[in-house]
Structure 1
Amino acid sequence: MALDPLIPSVVRLKFQRALKLHYLAWIDGDLIKAGELVALTALELALNDRYGGQVAGRPKKKLKSGQAPSLTDKPPQRSFAALLKHMVDGDGLTDADIPMIARCGGTAVGQLTGTTKPTLADRRNGLAHGDPFDGLPTSGLIELVRDLIDFAYRDYTKEGRALGIVSHDTLPSVSG
């Protein structure tokens, strides 16, 4: 279930935390929902990294009419739903590209585009904002998240392998 070692460690470590919570849920089932939330936040982090510059966002602070953003302003905030939809519309993701779906059947693309409810963004929002009625685990969610992160980084990891890099942690440091 681990992510490719060429995926940046900030994403891998967050996903590993989600896996750890899932493993601990064998002892205490209440941890499964926390694991799902961490997995979805790892996915959002990965999508912001890979697609953030390609998806329009809203500024984190409201600018006055005619005011230009300054260099110290935080980058625009992109919605998780827009990032998920971009995987399909902008990067060409199909169900055939998701190993879990290809192996087991079914569909997941609708949970990214919004045609199937609840979407992954709906699930994340419900978990983050304390949905009082969502107590059961979502079957296959952590595996789907792993496959989506792998898809988002597929070109990145392919380039790393072509350069002979075996782990993101062993990238040469850049000195200025």
Structure 2
Amino acid sequence: MDRSDLLDISLFDTERADGSFLMPWPLPGNPSALLPFYHFSEWQRFLEARRLHPAIPEIVGSKFRRAQRLYLLGWIDFGLVKAGELVAMTALELALKDRYGGFFIQQDMRKSGKKSHSERMPSLAQLLEHMVEKDGLTDASLTFTKLYGGSVISLLYESKASRDAAKKNGMPKAITLAGIRNSLAHGDPFDGLPWAGLLELIRDLIEYAYRSYLQEIKLA
């Protein structure tokens, strides 16, 4: 293996006086902002402020923290942020399967024909659609959109009407979280910069899915 392909720890300079570490992350009213970070500890504190609620089940929380660590290591190798995005997506999918998977299994069991457990498990796209259509998720439900503005509902799923209209008019597929996950997992040849604020949005979606669970713990 070419040593130049390995992580070069000599690049770990805690200072970036020129602000050369730029991270796509939204600001209020500016969804495409580039945030400069001048010191490693500043980047570390930024990520710590976006940590997942500690009462979230460990199997989900550990994956989210792994994603945070990969984001953190982006200070040395910026490409590791993309790996962090994929791990964050796995944390989200696991959380949604935990919270909503039973609904889909019960629904399929009522239908004719036998399916294996894996066949009954919903896709990420189905889970995200369920959040909106069955679990009441709106933009007003998320700290992310209340803080930065805009709308993320269209990122969660594309309605059949939108898909049909896009197909009819020859328009490209809408960008959705499931599509982003697929491009990260299956090798998008046109992969570019990190998705602005993705880790923070995923944090909010996970906490929304567990909101009743967190409330029960709070009242216990």
Q: Give TM-score, length-normalised by structure 1.
A: 0.81
Q: In 1, distance between residues paired with 2:114 and 2:203?
A: 38
Partner of residue 46, structure 1: 95
Residue 36 of structure 1 is matched in structure 2 by: 85
Aligned match for 2:74, one of 17, 25, 49: 25
Match of 2:34 in 1: none
Shift of 1:135: 2.1
Give the TM-score normalised by the residue count of structure 2. 0.66
- 5+ residue gaps, structure 1, are 60-65, 164-176
Aligned length: 154
The answer for the alignment partner of 1:80 in structure 2 is: 124
1:125 to 182, 185, 206: 182
**Superposition pairs for residues 54-73 of structure 1, below 5 Å?**
54-55=103-104, 68=114, 73=116
RMSD of aligned Cα (Å): 2.1
1:117 shift after superposition: 2.2
Cα offset, 1:149, TM superposition:
0.3
* Residue of structure 1 equivalent to 2:57: 8
Rate the CA distance shift 1:35–1:161 in 2: closer, same or farther, 3 A. same
Contact 1:55 1:83 in 2 (8 A): no
Q: Which runs of no fewer than 5 residues in structure 2 stay unpaired?
A: 1-49, 160-172
List structure 1 runs of 4+ shifted beyond 6 angstroms. Answer: none
Shift of 1:67: 6.8
Which deviations, in whole Å up to 9, do the C-alpha atoms of 1:3-53 show, x marking residues without a partner? 111110000000000011001111101101100000011000000000011
Structure with bigger RCO (C-alpha 8 Å, 6+ apart): 1
1:149 paired residue number: 206
Per the alignment, in what secondary structure is the counterpart of residue 123 of structure 1? helix
- The Cα shift of 1:56 comes to 5.8
Judge conservation of contact 1:55–1:86 (CA < 8 Å) in 2: no
Q: CA deviation at 1:55?
A: 2.9
